[in-house]
Amino acid sequence: MRVFNKTSCIVKPADQTWSGKLALSELDQTGVTTHVPTIYFYKQSPQDWLTVLQTLKTSLSSTLVHFSPLAGRLSFIAGGRLELECNAQGVRFMEAYADTKLVELDTLLPSPIYHQLIPSIDYQNTPLEEIPLLVLQVTRFACGGFSLGFNISHVVADGQSALHFVSEWARVCRGESIETPPYLDRKVLRAGDPPRTCEMINREEFGPPPVLIDDQSGENEREKETTVTMLKLTTTQVDKLRNKANESRKSYTSHGYTRYEAITAHIWRTSCKARNHKPEQPTALAISVDVRSKMRPPLPQKYFGNAIVNVIATGCSGEIVSKPLGFVSGKIRDVISKVDDEYVNSVIDFLKNQDDLSQFRELIPMDGDEGHFYGNPNVGVISWLTLPIYGADFGWGKEVHMGPGTHESDGDSLILYGKDGDGSLVVALCLQMRHMEDFKKLFYQDIE
């Protein structure tokens, strides 16, 4: 497939918006500070292509009036912190054409093709202050179908917030009004003044992750080539995993393990097997927990920003592999269950107390810091099961496929619903190429 005639423009809010520095919360300041890619595929529109493009641009401009932080820019300030300037500089809108039909693609699942359909961000050669927080590309295929590829800054929006923006943009594009404006004031997730001293926070959760026993620097592992796969789980297979987890559940556990807990435990132990770890190898599992409903009071409806804390489950590969699935699921439940209002506020205050927040971030390519390596022997499993990822109708029908973009970090994975609506799930996984075939084989073999 060849993608050609790429052009781009800047789309700014249609009306004047508030300008100034919007305070970021500590949860915006840590974790992934890059852009997150997603992609939607659509069948041919009954309208001519120029009308489709103009409608997308006009409605985007109108939607940015409500989601004005997306039209701003980031910059670094003292203490390794980031600052958001609401200056209406706009988002980048790209147009492109592909010389193939949608039906001719081998798959709509993540592949190297996505690199041509989702705009990339040049962090190394572009000053942070000049990088748009939203970059998107509309690509028309030879059949008249098209794709919408997004890259949205994770500093400004987590998954819930990004999908809120997409759904409202789609609504405006259909000629309707904004249904629920975003709540933009992030003070509800700011630390106290002065922040409290937090005794309950385990600093290990903010420290560097384990590395391979034979590669203490992590340099060899970070250089290994990775690949991506999508593994489908039928409802029967999901039930089997939950049953396996619950067979060994402790008697005092009142509720059976969830799909997420059982599947994540299965991913963690399968990765340990496929990577052929030594039994004594330390390994960590990173879990993202949405805290919107865990705060007291809950966060305002449609809070726009990052309302996620990361918790870490740890163990040695030998016990993860040899002990029952319920044991591993229990480790996951234990760290998730501690996330309540008190814990979240303690995390925020702990971060506020730090002189330099850059040490708590994942890879930050824009400032030249290589950061910690979160791949082998570790994994991260993010759930999209509560996200409204399907049904973005911009006026020409719902998408034929939506999914994550190109994720190239070893050990990263997502759990999402299959698009058929039959209750099946999909695990999107990035792993070193040398381990992927063993992982796929063990993943299904161990379910049976």
Per-residue pLDDT tens digits for 256-299 = 999 999 999 999 999 999 999 999 999 999 999 999 999 999 99
Out of 115, 239, 372, 393, pick the active-site residue.
393
Q: Do domains 3-189 and 220-445 have the same CATH topology?
A: yes
Per residue in 2-60, pLDDT tens? Answer: 887 889 999 999 999 999 999 899 999 887 788 999 999 999 988 899 999 999 999 99
Q: Give 302: exposed, middle or buried? Use CB within 10 Å, 0-12, 13-18, 19+.
A: middle
Q: Is the pLDDT of residue 110 over 90?
A: no
pLDDT in tens, 206-238: 778 899 998 766 678 888 999 989 899 999 999
CATH class of the domain at 3-189: alpha beta
Bridge pairing between strands 379-383 and 3-11: unpaired
Tokens representing 263 are 């599947």
Known active-site residue 154: yes
Pair 248, 254: CB distance under 8 Å:
no
Half-sphere exposure of 425 (CA within 13 A, CB side): 22
C-alpha closest to that of 383 among 411, 407, 414 = 414
Q: How many CA atoms lie within 13 A of 378 on its CB side?
A: 19
Whole-prediction pTM: 0.92
What average pLDDT score do residues 112-132 get?
90
> Higher pLDDT residue, 366 or 67?
67
Q: What band does 199 get if pLDDT is binned at 50, 70 and 90?
A: low
Catalytic residue (choose from 35, 66, 154, 266): 154
401 as an active site residue: the answer is no
For domain 220-445, which CATH number applies: 3.20.20.140, 3.30.559.10, 3.30.420.480, 3.30.230.10? 3.30.559.10
Q: If you average pLDDT over residues 60-80, what whole number do you get?
A: 96
List the domain boundaries for the chain: 3-189, 220-445
What residues contact residue 433 under an 8 Å CB cut-off, 6+ apart?
A: 224, 225, 226, 227
CA angle at residue 216 from 355 to 310, to 5 degrees? 45
Share of the chain above pLDDT 90, in %: 69
If you write DSSP's letter for every residue of 8-30 in order, what string do you get? EEEE--SS----EEEPPPHHHHS
